[in-house]
Amino acid sequence: MTRFLVTGAAGFIGHWLVRRLLKERALVVGVDNLNSAYDPRIKRWRLDQLAASSRFRFHATDVTDGRALRQAFAGCNYDAVFHLAARAGAPQSVREPGRYVVANAMGTQRVMEACSAHGVPKLVLASTSSVYGKAGSLPIAEDAPADRPLSPYAASKRAAEVLAHAHHHLHGLDITVLRYFTVYGPAGRPDMSLFRFIRWIREGEPIVLRGDGHQSRDFTYVADIVEGTLAAAVPLGCEIVNLGSDSPVRLCEALRLIETCLGREARVERAKVPRVDVRATWADTRKARRLLGWRPETSLTQGIERTVRWYEENRSWARDLILPE
């Protein structure tokens, strides 16, 4: 029976990855510190869904705590580790840059050390399209410059990538770095635009739209991201791979899809675009197809319908979640 460790197991992608692994009859150990980067009530909801399985074990552990992390590794002989734990959110990182550096860079270093110390053959490391900053051309391939991040969050994730390369070179750990592009879906992060749009429109609250709405994002459905993440758990040496929909959509168009799905019209309030934002993202996914045999399958319309359905089913508590500024 396969055994896996998933850090950030109560996070958005981590939750769905664990559910997918449990569906495959794997044994899964989850690690998460349930931090307050965004409302932890949704993290506890995700964790509650996983706790029903006898093949899931959870450690309420911070990945920067080397001693506690070693306990999660002890005697488990993992086939792979999926390191998804991170302090998320580019705007929030401007206010607390040090916490992001510690969580995302030092946390990754601690996980890699534990993998090597316990003979783990494979590490899949979650990164972000934010490392590209203001891309010079679109779509963005993996060899595009990633040395001009626009936020401490992006800088800390790029630091984790560079540390991964050094660790692979020195210790031989097989590492695949996945750069995720604007992931959305059921039980998503309440600081992300699509979750906020759904919540605001459904509850009759005004939409806060930053900028003119013509910014485009490569929205990628979480189930597709999970399949790509699983596909990356094969020997590749040390690689960086984009995971995105390869089909960017303007924010105003995504907003119209949500209005249609909810049967309600948004009341829009304009706000200034944060300095950490970019005008457009668009993933070049040819490398993912070549190395992983992966391609996204979910259209934005399908994904929004499923996300709205989840919100309606969980509205009794989801409508009260705190939305970070």
- What does the DSSP 8-state code read for residue 140? B
Q: Please report, for residues 26, 65, 87, 106, 167, the alpha-carbon distance to residue 93 in angstroms, rounded to integers and kept in the order given.
A: 35, 21, 8, 16, 26
Tell me which of 78, 100, 153, 311 is the catalytic residue.
153
> Are 218 and 250 in contact, with CB atoms under 8 Å apart?
no
Residue that has been written with the tokens 């009530």 in this structure? 41
Helix (H, G, I), strand (E, B) or coil at 31: strand
Q: Among candidates 159, 128, 132, which has minimal Cα distance to 146?
A: 132
List the structure tokens of 181: 């592009």
> Are 11 and 84 in contact, with CB atoms under 8 Å apart?
yes
Helix (H, G, I), strand (E, B) or coil at 281: coil
Strand 80-83 versus strand 3-7 pairing type: parallel
Q: How far apart are CA 204 and CA 164, in angstroms?
A: 45
Q: How far apart are CA 298 and CA 271, in angstroms?
A: 30
Q: How far apart are CA 146 and CA 131, in angstroms?
A: 5
Query: Does residue 153 carry a catalytic annotation?
Result: yes
Q: How far apart are CA 83 and CA 124, in angstroms?
A: 6
List the structure tokens of 198: 């759904």
Q: How far apart are CA 114 and CA 203, in angstroms?
A: 45
Q: Among candidates 120, 25, 142, which has minimal Cα distance to 76?
A: 120
> Are 56 and 30 in contact, with CB atoms under 8 Å apart?
yes
> Are 33 and 61 in contact, with CB atoms under 8 Å apart?
yes
Residue 197 exposed, middle or buried by CB count within 10 Å (0-12, 13-18, 19+) = buried
* Catalytic annotation, residues: 153
